[in-house]
């Protein structure tokens, strides 16, 4: 029997720490070398490659645009050949480093909506997901992807907020939209960039979503981000141990 992968989408307001947390989760899952892990940067603004210490050569959107260009140039290919080419090029867009793979969705060249990219994302997730044990998706800010149901394969939704009312509100909206549109195994909220225990305790009664834990404002994370350093080199400290217990709350049945 094929084991169903754990697919975690990390979502929340802009700037709350989605990319940092996605990178740390990726690191934690891939520390066990028997886990096959893929991190997917689904934010058109891109950024997950930095904390993962990976260089992106090609995004899913590059693949799409190359294809559109050659079709516009009048290159004629049958459906089968087209699919074969797409398959091959998508495979090329996946960066691999030992048991860790990385895929960036990128952004469309033209203005307008991300529907095509998102549809493509959906197809790709469907195809590749079963080759991995853990899939971590760094989502774009806001509720767009949830709205467009591209997240239908996601098994666990990890919402992130900072202490702000706006951040909590975005998390609550995403949770509501997600519960209406998608069936997850679990949903939880991680508080990030919190000043101290007092602040965390003050926030708890204001939140209806199951809380996975809280992470304090951390100078090392900020510094690593400032210099684009790999989060694989971040010292094992309170952030990592908080995240480990947050994961135990989100995925009670699976082992990292």
Ligand X SMILES: Nc1ncnc2c1ncn2[C@@H]1O[C@H](COP(=O)(O)OP(=O)(O)OP(=O)(O)O)[C@@H](O)[C@H]1O
Residues at the interface with ligand X (CB under 6 A): 14-20, 43, 45, 47, 141, 192-193, 215, 217-218, 221-222, 225
User: What is the arrangement of strands in the sheet containing 211-216, beginning at the earlier edge strand?
Assistant: 95-97, 100-104, 37-41, 134-138, 6-12, 156-161, 186-194, 211-216
Q: Least distance from C-beta 14 to Mg ion, angstroms?
A: 8
Q: Two tokens at 107? A: 């952004």
CB distance 134 to 8 below 8 Å: yes
49 touching Mg ion, by CB under 5 A: no
Of 43-51, 126-134, 174-182, 197-205, the segment contacting Mg ion by CB under 5 A is 43-51
Closer Cβ to Mg ion, 13 or 64, answer by number:
13
Which of 38/191 has CB closer to ligand X?
A: 191
- Contacts within 8 Å (CB) and 24+ apart, 25-32: 25/136, 25/158, 25/243, 25/247, 26/52, 26/100, 26/136, 27/52, 27/231, 27/232, 27/234, 28/240, 28/243, 28/244, 28/247, 28/256, 29/133, 29/134, 29/136, 29/256, 30/98, 30/99, 30/100, 32/256
Under rule CB under 5 A, residue 22 binds Mg ion:
no
Cβ proximity to ligand X, 144 vs 217, nearer residue: 217
Nearer to ligand X, 15 or 210 (CB): 15
Q: Give residue for tokens 């070398």.
A: 33
* 210, interface contact from ligand X, Mg ion, none, CB < 5-8 Å by kind: none
221 touches which of ligand X, Mg ion, none (CB within 5 to 8 A by kind)? ligand X
By CB under 5 A, residue 242 contacts Mg ion: no
| Residue 109 to residue 64: CA distance in whole angstroms | 10
Q: Is 192 in the site for Mg ion (CB under 5 A)?
A: no
Q: How far is the CB of 220 from ligand X (least distance, A)?
A: 8
Under the criterion CB under 5 A, does residue 19 sit at the interface with Mg ion? yes
Partner touching 228 among ligand X, Mg ion, none, CB below 5 to 8 Å by kind: none
Of residues 47 and 188, the one with the C-beta less far from ligand X: 47
**Which residue of this chain has its Cβ atom nearest to ligand X in the complex?**
225
| Number of Cα atoms under 13 Å in the Cβ half of residue 118 | 17
**What residue 15 binds from Mg ion, ligand X, none (CB within 5 to 8 A, per partner kind)?**
ligand X
Q: Is there a contact between 43 and 121 (Cβ–Cβ < 8 Å)?
A: no
Binding site for Mg ion (CB under 5 A): 18-19, 47
């Amino acid at each position: 029997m094929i084991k169903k992968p754990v697919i975690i989408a990390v979502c929340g307001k802009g700037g709350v720490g989605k990319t940092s947390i996605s990178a740390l989760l990726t690191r934690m899952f891939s520390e066990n070398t028997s886990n096959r892990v893929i991190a997917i940067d689904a934010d058109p603004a891109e950024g997950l490659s930095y904390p993962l210490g990976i260089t992106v050569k090609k995004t899913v959107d590059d693949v799409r645009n190359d294809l559109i260009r050659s079709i516009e140039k009048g290159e004629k290919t049958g459906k089968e050949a087209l699919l074969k080419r797409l398959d091959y090029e998508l495979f090329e867009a996946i960066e691999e480093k030992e048991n860790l793979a990385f895929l960036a969705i990128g952004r469309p060249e033209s203005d307008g909506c991300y529907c095509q990219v998102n549809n493509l994302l959906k197809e790709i997730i469907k195809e590749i997901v079963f080759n991995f044990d853990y899939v971590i998706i760094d989502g774009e800010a806001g509720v767009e992807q949830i709205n467009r149901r591209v997240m239908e394969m996601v098994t666990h939704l990890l919402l992130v907020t900072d202490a702000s009312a706006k951040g909590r509100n975005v998390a609550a909206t995403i949770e509501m939209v997600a519960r209406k549109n998608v069936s997850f195994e679990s949903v939880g909220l991680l508080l990030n960039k919190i000043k101290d225990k007092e602040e965390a305790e003050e926030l708890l009664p204001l939140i209806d979503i199951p809380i996975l834990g809280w992470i304090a404002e951390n100078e090392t994370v900020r510094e690593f981000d400032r210099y684009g350093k790999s989060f694989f080199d971040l010292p094992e400290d309170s952030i990592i141990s908080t995240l480990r217990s947050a994961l135990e709350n989100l995925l009670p049945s699976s082992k990292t």
